[in-house]
Chain A
Amino acid sequence: MISFFSSTRLTSWLLVAFLFFFVADWYWPAFPRWLYLLPAAFFYANLLGCLVTRLFPMKKNLVGKVGLVAFHLGMGVAMAGGMVTALYRFEGGFEVVEGQIFSDQAESYLYRTYGPLWRPFFTDEAFFLKEILVARDGEGNITAFDCLVARTPGAEVFHRLAANRPLSLSKGQVFLSKHFGTALGFKAVRDDGAMNSGMVNFAPRQQKQTFTAPGLPYTLQVELGDKARQEILLAGFPGHFTRKQALIPGQGVRIGDTTLIYGKKAHWAGLMVVRDPGKPWVYAGFLLFSLGLLLYYSAKFTRQ
């Protein structure tokens, strides 16, 4: 029994099993990930068996052996952390736009967006977005993207959320992404009075974007133009709206029986809520792994 669990032959077969599972995971989106627990259980038994039988006697090459053990244990710890992450991690996010104001405190914006999914983790620590703010320098460039957040229902103690100022909850973290993109607001008014509105989001530093104009069957291309005038360039595709036109906020363009009005330009950032109890274990595993490598190779070179 001991020889079975302490054999590197078993290790090889387990690695083949992991290989097979990873390929299946990539190929088959509905792969049941709890299946990883099966080879993982054998892997830990094998790791323990190998360590116990190969570590002793410790007299010879102690540093090298400790390095080898730390290196393998590091992998084991990181793998355990990965499994905890796979089973208990929770993440969600959405885009928050500059100038957004949330007046409804009774029900959190997050709860409204994600419903009961959040409840197992955040019920006792609900937080409410109050206002999305940005700070600008003298030239109008955004230097910081902030969210004003209230922690509990009715509380008047606010936390200023930013990329480097996450809000720590006992079971997770809320933070803003470091980079922000641009959002353009459009309104389409038809001659019969029907009105539609929509937004076009640009990823950070993205300059061109294709979008379907609100209420119109046309696919248009919009390009960010002169920054100071907040100008944009609107272009169409052959057969539809074929012109290329520069627009400033409030200006409209006539397409068929509709006037498409460019409303305003704002910025957006991603707000993320993450809970990951496995992460510290994974990082500890990485550290142990690297330390083990260092010890193993320093012992090897010293012996040479």
Chain B
Amino acid sequence: MMPVIAQHILELLLWITVACYAGATVFFVFHSSFDRKKLAGAGWILTICGLLIHAIAILFRWNLVGHGPYRTIHEILVCDSAFIVGAFVLAGLQVERLRASGVVVLPLTLIMMGLGMLAPQAGAYLSPSLKSPWLVVHVLFAKMTVGCIVVATGMATGLLLRKIKSGRIARLVGLFPENQSIVDLCQKLFQVAFIFASLMIIVGAIWANDAWGRYWGWDPIEIWSLIVWVLYAFILHVRLSWRLNESVYAWFVVAAFVVSVVAFFLVPFGAESIHSQYFE
């Protein structure tokens, strides 16, 4: 049981994070609509402040409940949203025009945060087989994969929304890079996501062998991790082999995002699996 005062502090930290992300979203939207650079700068600063407070909240909870953010739906959604913003900030630091994807990435993060904060926030019991350093590494790679995919989806959505030629949405996506640059950036993000997904599977296999005496068991979660891995590999190869229309490629990215949501969020909580005891 968490002390009441600690629960209040945690809640306050999460609400400040939400306020920062919401404020940043407003600034990014106004920046896209009125093309005012100062607004984008304010949005960027708020995003970074929000991410720092978000990270503090996650570490604070980790310290309180005695295990990392991988046990309950609240922990998973709140932590994954931090990794998405983290990937967005890292990508934005590398390529400034990527910051335009904030108008898609941040609202998506807010929805995840909201769902996470509505879920029961009590800590959960961690079984001995879970107390392994392999778990932390395995989960870390999974969350980094999700972060990259969401940022790539943000860019791809911007590309798809470009088809709307007039009105607010047209102004909103006007600041996104050119279509070709978006496709190149998505491809790079998918390369990184593919590597993280590969390492997630490898580390998971080593850990499974240590805990259960076998590295692979065709469990639903294992099969779905393989499905997303093959899908990412497909997207990387399809770009090399076919001269795909940019919009078709963007649709592939959105499809990969949908499949990733199923694999990372729906299957663990819905399917009957040996992993089910790890998710509450």
Q: A residues engaging B (CB < 8 A)?
A: 7-9, 11-12, 15-16, 18-19, 22-23, 25-26, 82, 85, 89, 91, 93, 175, 177-179, 203-205, 272, 274, 276, 279, 282, 286, 289-290, 293
Say whether B195 faces chain A, with CB atoms less than 8 Å apart.
yes
Majority SS at the chain A contact face: helix
Asked whether A289 and B231 contact (CB < 8 A) given A203-B127, A274-B214, the answer is: no
Task: Report B185-204 residues with CB < 8 Å from chain A CB.
Answer: 195, 198-199, 202
B230 touches A18 (CB 8 A): yes
Q: Which of B202, B205, B218, B233 contacts A15 (CB 8 A)?
A: B233
A82 touches B216 (CB 8 A): yes
Asked whether A204 and B129 contact (CB < 8 A) given A282-B215, A286-B205, the answer is: yes
- Distance (Å) between the CB of A10 and the closest chain B CB? 8
- List the count of A-B residue pairs having beta carbons below 8 Å apart: 75
B224 touches A26 (CB 8 A): yes
B128 touches A204 (CB 8 A): yes
A205 touches B127 (CB 8 A): yes
Say whether B209 faces chain A, with CB atoms less than 8 Å apart.
yes
- Some 17 contacts from A to B, beta carbons below 8 A apart, are A8-B240, A12-B237, A12-B242, A15-B234, A22-B223, A22-B226, A23-B227, A26-B224, A82-B216, A91-B213, A91-B214, A93-B213, A175-B213, A177-B213, A282-B215, A286-B206, A290-B202
Say whether B245 faces chain A, with CB atoms less than 8 Å apart.
no
A282 touches B128 (CB 8 A): no
B242 touches A179 (CB 8 A): no
A25 touches B202 (CB 8 A): no
Say whether B238 faces chain A, with CB atoms less than 8 Å apart.
yes
Q: In whole angstroms, what is the CA distance A89 to B209 when docked? A: 13
**Which of chain A's residues have a CB closer than 8 A to the CB of B233?**
15
**Which of chain B's residues have a CB closer than 8 A to the CB of A82?**
216
Say whether B220 faces chain A, with CB atoms less than 8 Å apart.
yes
Q: How many residues of B contact A (CB 8 A)?
A: 31
B128 touches A15 (CB 8 A): no
Say whether B94 faces chain A, with CB atoms less than 8 Å apart.
no
Say whether B180 faces chain A, with CB atoms less than 8 Å apart.
no
**Which of chain B's residues have a CB closer than 8 A to the CB of A179?**
127-129
Q: In whole angstroms, what is the CA distance A12 to B241 when docked? A: 8
A15 touches B214 (CB 8 A): no
- Distance (Å) between the CB of A274 and the closest chain B CB? 5
Asked whether A11 and B241 contact (CB < 8 A) given A19-B231, A22-B227, A26-B224, the answer is: yes
- Distance (Å) between the CB of A54 and the closest chain B CB? 11
A85 touches B237 (CB 8 A): no
Q: In whole angstroms, what is the CA distance A91 to B233 when docked? A: 32
Task: Report B209-262 residues with CB < 8 Å from chain A CB.
Answer: 209, 211, 213-216, 218, 220, 223-224, 226-227, 230-231, 233-234, 237-238, 240-242
**Which of chain B's residues have a CB closer than 8 A to the CB of A9?**
241-242
B124-164 to A contact mask, C-beta < 8 Å, 1/0: 01011100000000000000000000000000000000000
Asked whether A8 and B209 contact (CB < 8 A) given A26-B220, A91-B214, the answer is: no
Closest residue to B220 on the A side, CB-wise?
A26
The 4 A-B pairs of least Cβ separation, nearest first, read A8-B241, A9-B241, A15-B234, A26-B223
A279 touches B209 (CB 8 A): yes
**Which of chain A's residues have a CB closer than 8 A to the CB of B195?**
293
Q: In whole angstroms, what is the CA distance A93 to B231 when docked? A: 35
- Distance (Å) between the CB of B241 and the closest chain A CB? 4
- Distance (Å) between the CB of B245 and the closest chain A CB? 16
Q: In whole angstroms, what is the CA distance A204 to B195 when docked? A: 35
**Which of chain A's residues have a CB closer than 8 A to the CB of B216?**
82, 85, 282
Q: Which of B211, B213, B218, B234 contacts A25 (CB 8 A)?
A: B218
B241 touches A272 (CB 8 A): no
**Which of chain B's residues have a CB closer than 8 A to the CB of A203?**
127
Q: In whole angstroms, what is the CA distance A205 to B129 when docked? A: 10
Q: In whole angstroms, what is the CA distance A279 to B217 when docked? A: 13
Closest residue to A204 on the B side, CB-wise?
B128
